[in-house]
Amino acid sequence: MRARKTNSMGLVLITILAGTSPIAAQESHVGHWTGHGDAGKSLYYRYCWGCHGFRGDGNGENAPYLSVLPRNFVTAAFKCRSTPTGTLPTDEDIFISITRGLNSTNMPSWITLTGQQRADLVAFIKNFSPRWKNEKSGEPIQIPAEPALRLESIRHGKELFTKLECWKCHGPEGRGDGPAAPSLTDSNNQPIHPYDFQSGSRFKCGSTNVDLYKIFMTGLDGTPMPSFADVIKPDDGWDLVHYLRTLQITHRSPELRLWESTPDGAEIVKAAKTSGTPTGSGNYE
């Protein structure tokens, strides 16, 4: 008798879920691939639901155990974008996030999926939020060509780091231990740690200078990291990039080597190396 009852419950659940699961009508366009939501649906329910949840709301069965909560596709607020803050990302932005994964989180790289499969997933994910029906993706920001690396650029970037009060969260040495760090929360009201530059060379949204430029020019939506597009001139942005690279003392970048070739730079780097051991534990933003 009980079995019959639970079977009935199962049928009801199936009906409910079938009614509420997204209609996979969206498409995506990435390079030469056209992603189809229908194809992405089966991929999503094979690979993604455990963290992102059946309804894409970030409430998968493992979400409670993750230090960085999975993306909520219903709100459609994405951290890694090429578009201005508050706007929807491009299909390619989501494609790149799936391909690359998000460093220091449980989101791995899905580069082993075929390009078509990743494009299909992008298409399906867009069905979870009504925003995709009512809004278009933002226009990617314009990124000027990176100028040649000069010492003046690093010094100017250092001034910007102080002037824009980046240190308040990231700390004066970029350890993610600024005075505001302990009180930061994300859009889920979860504590969030500023990025610790000394922990490595990879950021959550990439590892190149262009990726770093995009991070502070678009902001990481859903986190306290704002967009600085309105306060930093495009060319000044590169100066900040060059300086931020010198904070990554465990990564031998050209910027760090140039900075260490100066007496004051060498002294700062030496002090940073001896004043503490990189923890690698605050690598969240």
Partner 1 sequence: MNVVGPGSYRSVKNRISSLAFSLVCAALTLGFLLIDSRSASALPHAAGKIHPIPAFARKYGMPCSSCHEAWPKLSPFGQAFKDNGYQLGNERDAPIYQNPSYWPVTFRITPEWHRESSNRVAVDGVIPGSTIEAQITTHGFDWSGLDFHTAGTLAKNISFYVLPSADSTGAFHFESVWARLDNLLGSSWLNLKFGKFELDNLQSEKRTLTLSSVGGSYQNYHFQPLVTPGAAGNARVSENLYRNGIGDNQVGLEWMGHSKDDRTRVSAALVSSNDGQPNFTANNGAEPFPTGKSYNGFVSASQAFEIGSLGLQRVGAFSYIGQAPTYFQVTSGGTGIAGTGIGNKGFYRAGLIGMWYVKKFDVTTMFFHGWDNAFLGSNTPANVPLPAGARAATWNGGLIEPHYTFSPRLILISRYEPIRMSRQAIATNAASFGNIDAVTVGYRFYPFISSRAGFAFHNEYAILRQRGAAPITGRDLTTSSFLIGFDFAY
Site string for partner 1, 250-279 (x = CB under 8 A): ------------------------------
CA-to-CA distance for 209 and 54, rounded, in angstroms?
36
CA-to-CA distance for 275 and 264, rounded, in angstroms?
16
Taking the complex as a whole, the smallest distance from the CB of residue 28 to partner 1 amounts, in Å, to 14
- Which of 200/222 has CB closer to partner 1? 200
Taking the complex as a whole, the smallest distance from the CB of residue 21 to partner 1 amounts, in Å, to 6
- Which of 14/231 has CB closer to partner 1? 14
Taking the complex as a whole, the smallest distance from the CB of residue 264 to partner 1 amounts, in Å, to 31
- Which of 138/194 has CB closer to partner 1? 194
Residue 7 lies near partner 1 (rule: CB under 8 A): yes
Q: Determine the residue type at 266.
A: A
Taking the complex as a whole, the smallest distance from the CB of residue 206 to partner 1 amounts, in Å, to 13
Total binding residues toward partner 1, as defined by CB under 8 A? 49
12-41: contacts with partner 1 (CB under 8 A): 13-14, 17-18, 21, 39, 41
Return the SS3 of 163.
helix
The CB-side HSE value for 148 (13 A sphere, CA atoms) comes to 1
E strands within 13-71?
A: 27-30, 33-36
- Which of 20/142 has CB closer to partner 1? 20
In whole angstroms, how far apart are CA 103 and each of 88, 138, 182, 241, 283? 21, 24, 21, 19, 8
190-229: contacts with partner 1 (CB under 8 A): 200, 202
For residue 48, give every residue at least 6 positions away whose Cβ sits within 8 Å of its Cβ, in sequence order, or none.
121
For residue 91, give every residue at least 6 positions away whose Cβ sits within 8 Å of its Cβ, in sequence order, or none.
28, 29, 30, 35, 119, 122, 123, 137
85-124: contacts with partner 1 (CB under 8 A): 101-117
CA-to-CA distance for 52 and 121, rounded, in angstroms?
13
CA-to-CA distance for 118 and 125, rounded, in angstroms?
11
Binding site for partner 1 (CB under 8 A): 3-4, 6-7, 9-11, 13-14, 17-18, 21, 39, 41-42, 44-47, 49-51, 54, 60-62, 65-66, 101-117, 200, 202, 280, 283
